[in-house]
């Protein structure tokens, strides 16, 4: 849903002559330009979270979350086998070991009981995924993480606007990551937002996002050693994202109306963002689906992705004996639908 508002926002930035307000050295410009700062303030207010940090993609956001969490070589990180690959592959960038837990048979997010079975003394974090717009089982998984002193990183790329017992997806764990990629609910082409209520984690995310090592000598006292990257959002992207954020509620309402045409199961206490309408063959009502497809012009697809541990990279790393039987079963009979035209 791109329109005149986004065009005016782009024009505003172009006329300002400032396409990026960042510098990789200490000062007010370390925190970005006016559009980025405004987006972060507006995002934090919208999702009722203390810190929102803009970056150039949700994939970058997951890297930043892992960096802020202090994930290192030898750590185990529990991940989902059934999602876009970056949340599972991200621990590899830090020398850590992805450990796949199985998924729920009806809601397709990580299964809390299987997470607990996979925890060892080396487990540092859990990267949960709010798959297809459905929030993860925050009550059970957060309790497990607290018991074992494990950090929870929430990949909410597909769940912008979803809720769990009134709390926004993305704010349910210690760190949350949103996507503003071109095919998400709202978009600025490429972009991400990382959120947290923890002051220390927020500062580490900012340092990792903008050449943290370059400002260490300017901080009094020095904060900590952290080797950062350039994962900064431009003023153009931030300006578009600000206008998109204003439209989120209206967009979600359309997705939720369309959901009535499909046999999607909703986790009790949750409100899905319906990034995809997902159900299994056993729940299929042919007449209902046929009517919805014909009248509402939806894309329909059988299967999502093969389990990540079956992909060549992970097979080469020794994951060829992995099971995750529910994940395999789900992939055999899952059906996905989504509107053909952007909402």
pLDDT 10s digits, 74-128? 999 999 999 999 999 999 999 999 999 999 999 999 999 999 999 999 999 999 9
Residue-averaged pLDDT of the chain: 92
Q: What are the residues whose beta carbons fall under 8 Å from the beta carbon of 253, sequence distance 6 or more?
A: none
Residue 256 is encoded by which pair of tokens?
A: 């939720």
Question: What domains appear along the chain, each with residue ranges and CATH number?
Answer: 4-244 (3.40.640.10), 248-339 (3.90.1150.10)
For range 232-239, the mean pLDDT: 98
The mean per-residue pLDDT over the stretch 32-60 comes to 98
pLDDT bin (cut points 50, 70, 90) of residue 288 is low
Sequence-ordered list of residues with C-beta below 8 angstroms from that of 2, at least 6 positions apart, any chain: 240, 244, 342
Distances (CA, A) of 254 to 4, 250, 269, 275, 294: 20, 7, 20, 11, 18
Per-residue pLDDT at 1: 79
The closest of 125, 114, 132 to 266, measured between CA atoms, is: 132
Average pLDDT over residues 280-289: 69
pLDDT of amino acid 302: 84
Q: Among all residues, which ones are annotated catalytic?
A: 184
With cut-offs at 50, 70 and 90, classify the pLDDT of residue 227: confident
Quick one: what percent of the chain has pLDDT higher than 70?
93
176 by DSSP, 3-state: which?
strand
Q: Which position has the higher pLDDT, 319 or 246?
A: 246
CA 279, 281, 282, 285 torsion-angle sign: positive
Q: What is the mean pLDDT of residues 260-288?
A: 86
CA distance 172 to 269: 13
The span from the CA of 126 to the CA of 140, in Å, is: 13
Tell me the average pLDDT across 166-176.
98
pLDDT tens-digit readout, 20-41: 999 988 888 999 999 999 999 9
pLDDT band at 323 (very low <50, low <70, confident <90, very high): confident
What is this structure's pTM?
0.95
Q: Residue 307's CB: how many other CB atoms inside 10 A?
A: 24
First to last CA, the chain: 6
**3-state secondary structure string, 215-280?**
CHHHCCCCCCCCCCCECCCCHHHHHHHHHHHHHHHHHHHHHHHHHHHCCCCCCCCEECCCCCEEEE
pLDDT for 286 equals: 64
Q: Which residues pair with 154 in a beta bridge?
A: 128, 176
Integer Cα distance of 194 and 175 in angstroms: 7
**Position 296 pLDDT exceeds 80:** no
């Amino acid at each position: 849903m791109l329109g005149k508002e986004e065009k005016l926002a782009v024009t505003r930035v172009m006329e300002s002559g400032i396409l990026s307000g960042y510098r990789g050295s200490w000062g007010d410009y370390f925190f970005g330009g006016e559009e980025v700062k405004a987006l972060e303030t507006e995002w934090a207010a919208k999702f009722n979270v203390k810190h929102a940090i803009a970056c150039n993609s949700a994939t970058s956001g997951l890297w930043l979350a892992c960096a802020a969490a202090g994930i290192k070589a030898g750590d185990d990180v529990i991940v989902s086998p059934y999602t876009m690959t970056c949340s599972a592959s991200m621990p590899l960038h830090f020398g850590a070991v992805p450990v796949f837990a199985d998924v729920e048979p009806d809601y397709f997010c990580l299964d809390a009981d299987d997470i607990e079975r996979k925890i060892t003394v080396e487990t540092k974090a859990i990267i949960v995924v709010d798959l297809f717009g459905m929030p993860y089982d925050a009550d059970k998984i957060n309790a497990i993480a607290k018991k074992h002193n494990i950090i929870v990183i929430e990949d909410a790329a597909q769940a912008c606007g979803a809720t769990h017992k009134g709390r926004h997806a993305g704010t349910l764990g210690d760190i949350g990551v949103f996507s503003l990629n071109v095919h998400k609910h709202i978009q600025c082409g490429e972009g991400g937002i990382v959120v947290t209520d923890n002051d220390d984690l927020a500062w580490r995310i900012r340092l990792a996002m903008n050449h943290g090592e370059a400002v260490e000598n300017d901080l009094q006292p020095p904060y900590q050693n952290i080797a950062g990257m350039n994962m900064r959002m431009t003023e153009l992207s931030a300006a578009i994202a600000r206008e998109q954020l204003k439209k989120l509620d209206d967009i979600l309402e359309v997705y939720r109306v369309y959901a009535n045409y499909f046999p999607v199961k909703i986790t009790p206490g949750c409100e899905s963002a319906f990034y995809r309408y997902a159900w299994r063959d056993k729940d299929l009502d042919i007449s209902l689906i046929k009517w919805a497809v014909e009248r509402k012009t939806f894309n329909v697809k059988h299967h999502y992705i093969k389990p990540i541990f079956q992909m060549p990279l992970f097979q080469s790393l020794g994951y060829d004996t992995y099971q995750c039987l529910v994940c395999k079963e789900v992939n055999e009979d899952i059906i996905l639908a989504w509107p053909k035209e952007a909402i």
